[in-house]
Chains A and B, each alone.
Chain A
Amino acid sequence: MGKQTPLYAAHVGLNAKIVDFAGWDMPLHYGSQIEEHHQVRRDAGMFDVSHMLAVDLEGGAVHTLLSRLIANNVDKLQTPGRALYSCMLNPQGGVIDDLIVYFFRPDFYRLVVNAGTADKDLAWITAQAEQTGNVTVKPRRDLAMIAVQGPTARSKVWQSLPGSETASSMLKPFNAAWFGDTLIARTGYTGEDGFELMVPVGKATITWVALQAAGVKPAGLGSRDTLRLEAGMNLYGQDMDDAVSPLEAGLAWTVDLVAPRDFIGKAALLAKPSQRQMLGLVLAERGVMRSHQKIVTPLGEGEITSGGFSPTMNQSIGFARLPNGVSVGDTIDVDIRGKSHKAKVVKPPFVRNGKILIA
């Protein structure tokens, strides 16, 4: 048996198919992964993401620490509640993890990191914090996280949590606000509007049940994966890891090499030009691309990092690490189970806010 989130009993009660994910017993789906996918694109679904870890950083030197710790520029966070997506790099320029950092006060920030990397991240952050000094690192396993996503997600959250509308109706994307002891963040991993809620563990079930009563349907990790793939969002461990530079994982936009700030991994990124690039693929033929399948181009070989079936587009899509010089619009060959299939190179995202963006 793996670790269980505070909502585990709720998932079992909903007849979820439970699978192991990074040591956690998590719901894969509650019946149909594809229906859950459409539910999020068309209405509202909710994901238990309590396996992810919130880490609070407090103290006078948090800003100094974050200036070194993350590859994006923490100075972009100027107003309370503002959130930033970033990678945390090792000295070789590889990605230790991708995370969201929330700014509340100059002496209080919160990171949210992946479940599978939580222990590694915590050790790394703690070591860097000790070096910086005057920072307390607090893992928050006393919080549960529920991502409510879809075009009607925000209004259904307001319906479920009386009073929350006043606290959060003005929030722009990538901003968060406190509603009592709950953090309401207008963030997500689906390409749809919505909120991510961080609540004390004791309120997890009552919040989940209230959301369900407002018509938010539970959705599992299966649809979370196809939604993020359509939305052009990377999955740590699949699209990048400790040995992959963010510049070779489609994440150059999250790396600030311009500011004079010296972050961990910066020197390595500057010293080593990218050999590869990450782009999207749409399979031109029937079949399904899967991660690790080989790609052949006139400029050399590549590999699918994430592949699958897009329920919105009703065809297979994926991300691939490709040789430099392969361009959007090119057609390349994917080896699917020993047979060569044609795929078109595109620029993700594939789908945003319910609309297909790839012609």
Chain B
Amino acid sequence: MNVPANLKYTQSHEWTRLDADGLVTVGITDHAQEALGDMVFLELPQIGRKLQAGEECAVVESVKAASDVYAPISGEVVATNQEAVDTPEIINKDAYAAWLFKVKPDNAAEFSALMGADAYTAVADSD
């Protein structure tokens, strides 16, 4: 299982990365894309939307099923990945390169509190 050590994770299989500009980039994990199969459709949040941590904010849909994506942290959506919308299969190719959206965090401590790679590996293993 591919779980990069430099990222943080959620129980609901999102990965997050704190970028140098202070934004948090969000995607779904390799484990999640593997379980869902070939991606065919994405619905991403509007830019400017204020997210509450834990709320449904996007949908990834594969040949098999639709799956909700939850906001890992609270904050404002400042960017979405149009390339992933146009070609959802890039998520299957590299789930950590194919980010979904970027959030300007309300509170940096929320990011720090997310799971590290070891904890997430245990979560994914127990699926």
Interface residues of A (CB under 8 A from B): 17, 28-29, 32-34, 222, 226, 286-288, 290, 308-309, 316, 337
Q: Does B38 sit within 8 A of A, measured CB to CB?
A: yes
Known contacts: A32-B92, A34-B89. The answer to whether A287 contacts B64 by CB under 8 A is: no
Contact B59 A34 (CB under 8 A): no
Q: Shortest beta-carbon distance, A320 to chain B, in Å? A: 18
Contact B38 A288 (CB under 8 A): no
Give the CA-CA distance A226 to B64 in the complex, in Å.
10
Known contacts: A34-B89, A287-B61. The answer to whether A29 contacts B37 by CB under 8 A is: yes
Known contacts: A226-B63, A309-B63. The answer to whether A288 contacts B37 by CB under 8 A is: no
Contact B38 A33 (CB under 8 A): yes
Give the CA-CA distance A21 to B65 in the complex, in Å.
16
Give the CA-CA distance A323 to B1 in the complex, in Å.
48
Contact A309 B92 (CB under 8 A): no
- Chain B interfacial residues counted at CB < 8 A: 13
Closest 4 CB pairs of A and B: A309-B40, A34-B38, A288-B61, A33-B63
Q: Which of A34, A287, A337 is B63 in contact with, Cβ under 8 Å? A: A34
B38-55 interface with A by 8 A CB criterion: 38, 40-41, 43
Give the CA-CA distance A222 to B40 in the complex, in Å.
14
7 residue pairs bridging A and B, Cβ less than 8 Å apart:
A33-B63, A286-B41, A288-B40, A288-B66, A290-B65, A316-B41, A337-B66
Known contacts: A34-B89, A337-B59. The answer to whether A290 contacts B66 by CB under 8 A is: yes
Instruction: Select from chain B the residue with minimum beta-carbon distance to A34.
Output: B38
Instruction: Select from chain A the residue with minimum beta-carbon distance to B41.
Output: A288
Q: Which of A34, A290, A308 has the most CB of B within 10 A?
A: A34
Give the CA-CA distance A128 to B103 in the complex, in Å.
66
Contact B41 A287 (CB under 8 A): yes
Residues on the A chain within 8 Å of B38, using CB:
32-34
B66-99 interface with A by 8 A CB criterion: 66, 89, 92
Instruction: Select from chain B the residue with minimum beta-carbon distance to A222.
Output: B63
Instruction: Select from chain B the residue with minimum beta-carbon distance to A223.
Output: B63
Residues on the A chain within 8 Å of B89, using CB:
34
Q: Shortest beta-carbon distance, A292 to chain B, in Å? A: 13
Residues on the A chain within 8 Å of B37, using CB:
17, 28-29, 33, 222
